Amino acid sequence: MTTNIDIVLFDGVDELDAVGPLEVLRGAAAHGADLAVRLVTRTEPLEVTGHHGLRMRADAVYTPGADILLVPGGGWIARAQAGAWAEAERGDWLPLITAAADRGTLLAGVCTGVMLLARAGVIGDRPATTHHGAREELEASGVKVVDDRVVDAGGLVTAGGVTSGIDLGLHLVQRFAGEDAAIAQADRIEYPWSPEGAAGEEQAAGGHAITTEPFAGTVTVIFGGQALAESRNALILHETGLAPVTYFPIEDVRMDLLFRTDHQSTCPFKGEASYWGADVGWRRVENIAWAYEDPLPQRTDIKGRIAFYEHKLDAFIAQPDAPG
């Protein structure tokens, strides 16, 4: 199944923020990765002028439907009259980004493009990174800032400074087309990258770690006035660079309120993920939950369990047992 990726363009965009991921993703697609990549503007004209004067022409005006929406930065720290800051102040992209998040689109931000995502209110309490000059501002907005080159928080992938857009592109290739495809593309562009270091120097030095622990208490998720899941046997998964994720036993999930979607993703550490939407009659959302139905051997602890995107829920309630 083809993964469709839209890369946003606007006047004042930092050229490398957009072209770096474009080079990686289209290069991988040209060598067999099932990826389709477009450059998109919000409206016509399709031509924009980048931060350094490069004129670029988009492929199309943005329309909803991509699997991944990638937002570059540029001009934020200087509060330039064109660039990410100007786009945030104008506000035209913000509802489109919010709507994409609501549909379950994976959001990716490069450099200060992450600040546009923060301004759209779609990051929540998930970890993220951005250009070092904007990290203090990102943290002040309530985001948990991680000092890594790329931070993968499931439905949100963010990258730091300008050149880290290349790392983000390779990370997306790894996630959606496999590790071999990402390594091959890194070799083709002669870029020093490895899967172990894909999430940043700190992770490369310390290694990628995943641990799980039972939650001592009751966890409930609410959507549209319905408890989609309630369990006293929830499992908390901790993974390097990511926010903790709660996995519910399938028997504690209202599967009658969920429907399987066509969306899939690949984690090099857990395996292939399948996705479900929720439909409670009067309200419906795509890709609110996921599961590794046949996880990699080292992750059989999450087999038979489902996790939910907390930002798509009305409420996520974790009630620990009373001490003693």
The CATH number covering residue 67 comes to 3.40.50.880
Q: Which domain holds residue 287?
A: 211-320
Residues 306 and 236 in one domain: yes
Residues 64 and 34 in one domain: yes
Q: In what order do the strands lie in the sheet with 106-110?
A: 60-61, 35-41, 3-8, 68-71, 106-110, 156-159, 150-152
Q: Work out whether strand 235-239 and strand 226-231 pair parallel, antiparallel, or are unpaired.
A: unpaired
C-alpha to C-alpha distance for 143 and 118, rounded to whole angstroms: 8
Selection from 211, 206, 200, 223 nearest residue 276 by Cα? 223
Is 56 in contact with 39 (CB distance < 8 Å)?
yes
The DSSP element (H or E) to which 305 belongs, if any, is strand 305-308
Question: What's the mean per-residue pLDDT of the chain?
Answer: 91
pLDDT at 199 over 60: no
pLDDT at 198 over 60: no
Query: Which residues, listed in sequence order, are joined to residue 98 by a DSSP beta bridge?
Result: none
What is the pLDDT, as a whole number, of residue 144?
87
Residues 241 and 100 in one domain: no
pLDDT at 62 over 90: yes
Find tokens 């562009």 and name the residue: 189
Here the CATH number for the domain that contains residue 215 is 2.170.150.40
Please state the domain count of the chain: 2
Residues 83 and 216 in one domain: no
Q: What percentage of the chain has pLDDT greater than the value 70? A: 95
Residues 151 and 256 in one domain: no
Domain final position from 205, 231, 256: 205
Residues 198 and 217 in one domain: no
pLDDT at 207 over 70: no
What is the pLDDT, as a whole number, of residue 203?
38
